[in-house]
Structure 1
Amino acid sequence: MPRRTPLVIGHRGAPGYRPEHSRSSYALAFELGVDAVEPDVVVSRDGVLVVRHENEISGTTDVAERAEFADRRTTKTVDGDALTGWFTEDFTWDELSTLHCRERIADVRPSSASFDGEQTVLRLLDVLDAARTASLEQGREIGVVLEIKHATYFASLGWDVAALVEAELREAGWDAGQWPLTVESFESTVLLTLKDRGIPAAYVYLLEAAGRPFDLVAAQGKAAPTYAHTASPAGLDALVGRVDGISIDKRMILAPDRLGRSSGPSPIVADAHERGLRVFTWTCRPENRFLIGQFRTRGGPSEFGDWEAEWSVIRDAGIDGVFVDHPDLGVAFFRDARGAAR
């Protein structure tokens, strides 16, 4: 059954106010009342699951300013895209643990960037422990929505990411359903592998608005299904019994036309609910840069636009979970009486 109000998930903590995936970002998200937080995980050279949005880390750490790591700069192809920078798989955890977090979009969030350099990079274990501690301190359950990044790419380097995740969940005591756990990925292969390993969690398949999942492209080439097909009724039929839900780009709900005007909510949420699938959406942000054209206002990309109007379309679609960068706004809008009024 759809939830009366959606889960409010701190997307990488509270990155509207602190550098993403930093300890203070997660601490602030807990303080502001999120139901769960979302760490992204990638792999270090020695097999540690590191909490970073991507394995290329020049934009979110101070690695480029560290002279001792200058020779690690390189170009790689990750999921079909050529990237130049510094990559987690070229560093041990001990080395990565010396790097400091920084704001990824400082031009939009200068206040968050004022906290650059204050805190070091985290492991998955650190976030799991922090969520459990916050749950006990606040007397409420705070979940973790764990996103697995680039599993097929890391498999090409010899890493079984599902096995690494299983081991770290067991080490942290998150392996037996004691705490609310969701696992998500844009690659269904790693989701189903981890599910087969018996880790009790909700398994949620991430869908882009366009393109194809890299794991299936690697296995099937041009025969791989598109994300758009997977989001169709026939594609959703094929997910029933395999995963517990989908997590979709908010544009798939807003359905903007060529002029940036919403024609939503689209039927995707109702279609998924008819099949017993939960629906999460990402990412609700208030700044003009991230709103569709209809809801942007004057003042530039960093100014808050008419975010409440955009979020109303998403809320009214009946979603089960929403990722937010500003947890206070998300909690107030989606959970309190004002936001849940319809």
Structure 2
Amino acid sequence: MTMKPFLALCLASTALAGAAHADGVSYGPRPFYLIERMEDGPLKDKLASCTEQAPARSSFSVGHRGAPLQFPEHTVESNMAAARMGAGILECDVTFTKDKQLVCRHAQNDLHTTTNILATDLGAKCTQVFVPANGDTRAQAECRTSDITLAEFRTLTGKMDAANASATTVAEYLDGTAGWRTDLYSVQKGTLMTHAESIALFDSLGADFTPELKAPSVEMPFDGFSYQDYAQKMIDEYKAAGIAPDRVWPQSFDLEIVKYWVDNEPEFGKQAVYLMDEYDTEGYSPMDPATWPNTMEELKAMGVNYIAPPMWMLLTLDEADNMVASELALAAQEAGLGIITWTLERSGPLTTGGGWYFQSVKDATDTDGDYFTILHALREEAGVVGVFSDWPATVTFYANCMGID
């Protein structure tokens, strides 16, 4: 890039980092930082030409637990940040408390890494109380939402999802945030939410909804509360709030739960999302249909209209190391399935390949600017209609630049 365009990009970054559109959307500096680190070429030129565009909300941009690259996940603060970055859809991962109330947590058994529970008296109620590391034995703890009541849950504070397995004290255990994340926005209280509260918040922010029903860590039925009761209660809370079904994309890794919504709540089931976890099956390959538990046509025949595989299942590299659609992505397109994917900016810098989420394209990723290269391939090659991100501004900027609502 010549000096003149480079200076224009810098000036645009400075001007727009703090500027917001009329609906309160702002990109901040990160998209411009990533563009500058891209290799020269048509995509970089196109994105650079959009640096003075007005930020606007896009349903292509999905806040993954809010904006957890910097904010404690599933907190009010994290989701407000995601909405301000233009995420048109926000996520509440749904689990339940001891008194069977629905709350937002990524897993039923993650309170020991995502909240301050171990530093409170409630730590004594955990399924596994804190045990310090000893020699080669790692520190242990497991705290479930089902260990405590909703009233007790409300006393907790959200923190960055991390733990120090070498810790010998609770304070050390809670202090495990990765260096490429930050504790800056969790110094003060991170406000936890019930599922119903997330609905009210997201609606007030002008965003739509993608709740994920999490697999329970407890045996079901739980005190008479069945898996189907759990799935139904999640939908019922949208009904109670008067939310139109076409604003909700309910998700589950359990295909039977997706089929339950299709059969029992057809208006919500139309947009139910099957989160594909076939990668846990021995011998599975997104490039080999013979290894798939279900064909894309079979899923469509079951009433599934949306699938959500992780990004690496949708992309592969051709002989020239260009990112192209996987066999799975092509088959899903052929079957008429909408494709959503996860999770951009989840596993750290791409200078070393980016980790699990980018494993199928790691040989073509060597700079954080490749977040945009991957995003473009996901859209143009794999045909995705939405991308979960830990920092929604990146996806919002791309969507705005490419004219994606």
Normalization by structure 1: what TM-score? Answer: 0.78
Q: 1:15 aligns with which of 68, 77, 81?
A: 68
Aligned to 1:86: 143
Does residue 102 (structure 1) correspond to residue 159 (structure 2)? The answer is yes
Q: How does 1:34-183 map to 2 (within 5 A)?
A: 34-56=87-109, 57-74=111-128, 84-105=141-162, 106-135=177-206, 142-150=207-215, 155-157=220-222, 158-159=224-225, 160-174=229-243, 176-177=244-245, 180-183=247-250
Which AA in structure 2 matches 1:70? A
Does residue 271 (structure 1) correspond to residue 338 (structure 2)? The answer is no
Does residue 249 (structure 1) correspond to residue 310 (structure 2)? The answer is yes
Q: Give the Å deviation of 1:325.
A: 1.0
Residues 339/182 of structure 1: CA separation in 2 closer, same or farther (3 Å cut): same
User: What CA distance in whole angstroms lies between the structure 1 residues aligned with 2:365 and 2:332?
Assistant: 29
User: What CA distance in whole angstroms lies between the structure 1 residues aligned with 2:149 and 2:293?
Assistant: 44
Aligned length: 301
User: Among the aligned pairs, what percent are the same residue?
Assistant: 23
Q: Give the Å deviation of 1:92.
A: 0.6
Q: In 1, are the aligned partners of 2:60 and 2:88 still within 8 Å (CA)?
A: yes
User: What CA distance in whole angstroms lies between the structure 2 residues aligned with 1:190 and 1:129?
Assistant: 24
In structure 2, list runs of 5 or more residues that go unmatched: 1-57, 130-139, 163-176
Aligned to 2:340: 280
User: What CA distance in whole angstroms lies between the structure 1 residues aligned with 2:372 and 2:159?
Assistant: 28
User: What CA distance in whole angstroms lies between the structure 2 residues aligned with 1:230 and 1:246?
Assistant: 18
Residues 236/309 of structure 1: CA separation in 2 closer, same or farther (3 Å cut): same
Q: Give the Å deviation of 1:63.
A: 0.7
Q: Give the Å deviation of 1:40.
A: 0.5
Aligned to 1:186: 253
User: What CA distance in whole angstroms lies between the structure 2 residues aligned with 1:59 and 1:96?
Assistant: 14
Q: In 2, are the aligned partners of 1:283 and 1:322 still within 8 Å (CA)?
A: yes
In structure 1, list runs of 5 or more residues that go unmatched: 76-82, 136-141, 213-221, 299-303
Q: Give the Å deviation of 1:320.
A: 1.2
Which AA in structure 2 matches 1:308? F
Measured on the aligned residues, the alpha-carbon RMSD in Å equals 3.0
189-198 or 239-248, which moves further after superposition? 189-198
User: What CA distance in whole angstroms lies between the structure 2 residues aligned with 1:200 and 1:112?
Assistant: 41
User: What CA distance in whole angstroms lies between the structure 2 residues aligned with 1:144 and 1:322?
Assistant: 14
Q: In 1, are the aligned partners of 2:323 and 2:374 still within 8 Å (CA)?
A: no
Aligned to 1:80: none
SS at match of 1:322: strand
SS at match of 1:281: strand
User: What CA distance in whole angstroms lies between the structure 2 residues aligned with 1:197 and 1:12?
Assistant: 27
Residues 193/153 of structure 1: CA separation in 2 closer, same or farther (3 Å cut): farther
Deviation by residue 1:223-252 (Cα, 9 ceiling, x = unmatched): xx9796698596212111421110001011
Normalization by structure 2: what TM-score? Answer: 0.66
SS at match of 1:282: strand
User: What CA distance in whole angstroms lies between the structure 1 residues aligned with 2:92 and 2:342?
Assistant: 14
Deviation by residue 1:264-290 (Cα, 9 ceiling, x = unmatched): 321322311221211111111173244
Residues 63/305 of structure 1: CA separation in 2 closer, same or farther (3 Å cut): farther
Greater Cα radius of gyration, structure 1 or 2 = 2
User: What CA distance in whole angstroms lies between the structure 1 residues aligned with 2:306 and 2:291?
Assistant: 11
Q: 2:375 aligns with which of 311, 314, 318?
A: 311
SS at match of 1:309: helix
Residues 154/93 of structure 1: CA separation in 2 closer, same or farther (3 Å cut): farther
User: What CA distance in whole angstroms lies between the structure 2 residues aligned with 1:90 and 1:243?
Assistant: 34
Which AA in structure 2 matches 1:120? T
SS at match of 2:182: helix
User: What CA distance in whole angstroms lies between the structure 2 residues aligned with 1:324 and 1:119?
Assistant: 20
